[in-house]
Structure 1
Amino acid sequence: MNIAKMIDHSLLRPELTTDDIRRGCDIAGRRAVASVCVRPSDVEIAVAALAGTGVLVGTVAGFPHGDTRTTTKVAETRELVEAGADEIDMVLHIGRLRDGDTGYVHDDIAAVVAAAHGRIVKVILENAHLTDEQKILGCRLTEQAGAHFVKTSTGFAPGGATLADIQLMRATVSPHIEVKAAGGVRTLDTLLELHHAGATRFGATATETILDDYAARERGEQPITATPARHHR
């Protein structure tokens, strides 16, 4: 099991300096994770820092609230792709999803998918603000709009990824749509439990802790199993 290639190393906190971004990219490169997920203004820095490492550069659109206009999300996505972003994590319009405005939500996502020109698009539902019925609707609209992942959270809401949400999202979308867990994935046990439930990518800041724990378990220092997790927030 290649745990590193399930991790999107998250560098999204607003207080991070340019040096912090470069250090985070160094961690991502050395640990050979799937990607870094950086703020839009940091895409060029990450592209330069990760050149030749095989680590993808991800970034965000409509972040963190999802309430910018579709035209703004489209323009942002086009700029980010031109800057070298490989993956786009967009926030859908949470309020319009709660309204049940399926046309708006679908078209908002579809426009970003088109603007991404084939790059991976992950759609953040921000589940902490949604009922189960709204989560199901958001997942279905994401798939219909042509995106590649459904994602639980931004990491900036009152709650993050939960086991119940991963199970619900995995059961709702087709097998070719992947599920990303973000928000509160701070331990290997949490990651493994959510992976067993169907998540294939994880947004994490505790990347080194998780990977060091996994390496220790591979050496036989403790079993590579997930203990039941109560909360992932």
Structure 2
Amino acid sequence: MQINKYIDHTILKATATKADIEKLCNEAVKYEFYSVCVNGAYVSYAKSLVKNSDVLVAAVVGFPLGQMTTEAKVFEAKEAIENGASEIDMVINIGMLKDREYDYVENEIRKIKEAIGDNVLKVIIETCYLTEEEKKIACELSLNAKADFVKTSTGFGTGGATFEDVILMKSIVKDNAKVKASGGVKDYETAKKYIELGASRLGTSSGISIVEKK
């Protein structure tokens, strides 16, 4: 198993500096991770640092609360793609989901997917705030809107990925979308288990520890 190719090497903290982004990108190139995942302001810089490698750039949108307007998220996603991102990790409007405004949630995902075209869209449903039924619905809405991935967490909520959530999400999307486990993936054995359970991608800031099995 080439576990490095499952990893989105990530830094999203508020205090991230250009030096942090440079370190992240250099590590991603060295370890041949699938991508680096950064906030929008650093997309073009990250792209310039990985341009001579196979490492892609992923950008977060509506991060981490998901409570921006749909129009703001669409603009953010389009700009990130224009600046060099190949993948978008968007946060749904969790409050709208809980209010059962399902059309709103689905339409928002669809509009972002349409705005970025063939680029990959991952939908962060922030499982720690959802009931089992809400998790299922969020996955179904993501499928309806033609998202490429459903993703467990931002890493900024009250909890991250769990094995149970990945099993549940995979059972809903089957082979019609992929699953990304994110938040709390810190060691090789945990990462391996998520992949065995059906995750196609791992979001983590512990990629080096994972591949070096430390």
Q: Output one character per residue of 1:71-100: Cα deviation in whole Å (capped at 9) or x when no partner.
A: 000111111111010000000110011111
Alpha carbons 2:123, 2:142 under 8 Å: kept? yes
Describe the SS at the equivalent of 2:147: coil
2:5 aligns to what? 5
Say which one has the larger Rg.
1
2:153 aligns to what? 153
Task: Give 4+ residue runs of structure 1 displaced > 2 Å after superposition.
Answer: none
Alignment: residue pair count: 214
Q: What amino acid maps onto 1:138 in structure 2?
A: A
Describe the SS at the equivalent of 1:179: strand
State the alpha-carbon separation in 2 of the partners of residues 88 and 213 from structure 1.
Answer: 28
2:212 aligns to what? 212
TM-score, normalised to structure 2's length? 0.98
- Give yes or no for the alignment of 1:98 onto 2:98: yes
State the alpha-carbon separation in 2 of the partners of residues 85 and 173 from structure 1.
Answer: 25
RMSD over aligned Cα atoms: 0.8
Q: CA deviation at 1:196?
A: 1.1
2:123 aligns to what? 123
Q: CA deviation at 1:174?
A: 3.1
Q: What amino acid maps onto 2:48 in structure 1?
A: A
Gaps of 5+ in 2: none
State the alpha-carbon separation in 2 of the partners of residues 51 and 173 from structure 1.
Answer: 32
Q: Output one character per residue of 1:113-155: Cα deviation in whole Å (capped at 9) or x when no partner.
A: 0111210000000000000000000000000001100000000
State the alpha-carbon separation in 1 of the partners of residues 174 and 144 from structure 2.
Answer: 10
2:200 aligns to what? 200
Q: CA deviation at 1:176?
A: 3.0
Q: What amino acid maps onto 1:117 in structure 2?
A: G
- Give yes or no for the alignment of 1:111 onto 2:111: yes
State the alpha-carbon separation in 2 of the partners of residues 28 and 14 from structure 1.
Answer: 20
State the alpha-carbon separation in 1 of the partners of residues 192 and 119 from structure 2.
Answer: 27
State the alpha-carbon separation in 2 of the partners of residues 152 and 6 from structure 1.
Answer: 15
Alpha carbons 2:143, 2:176 under 8 Å: kept? no
